[in-house]
Amino acid sequence: MDVSYSRTDTALLLIDPYNDFLSEGGKLHGLAKQVFDATGTLDNLRRVVAAARAAGIRVFFTPHHRARPSDFSLWKNASPYLLGGDRMQVFAEGSWGGEWHPDFVPQEGDVVAKEHWHSSGFAHTDLDLLLRRHGIEKVILVGLLANTCVESTGKFAAELGYHVTLVVDATAAFTREAMDAAHKINGPTYAHAIVATANLVQALAAPAVLEP
Answer for the pair 130, 111: CB distance below 8 angstroms, yes or no.
Answer: yes
Tell me, what's the pLDDT at 84?
82
- For the chain, what are the domain ranges? 10-210
> Of 145, 116, 146, 118, whose CA–CA distance to 128 is shortest?
116
Tell me, what's the pLDDT at 5?
94
Tell me, what's the pLDDT at 212?
44
Handedness of CA 149, 62, 136, 196 (dihedral sign): negative
Provide block-wise average pLDDT over 10 residues at a time, the chain (212 residues): 89 98 96 96 98 97 95 87 86 97 98 97 98 98 98 98 98 98 98 97 77 47
User: pTM of this prediction?
Assistant: 0.95
Answer for the pair 90, 12: CB distance below 8 angstroms, yes or no.
Answer: no
Tell me, what's the pLDDT at 1?
67
In the CATH hierarchy, which top-level class contains the domain 10-210? alpha beta
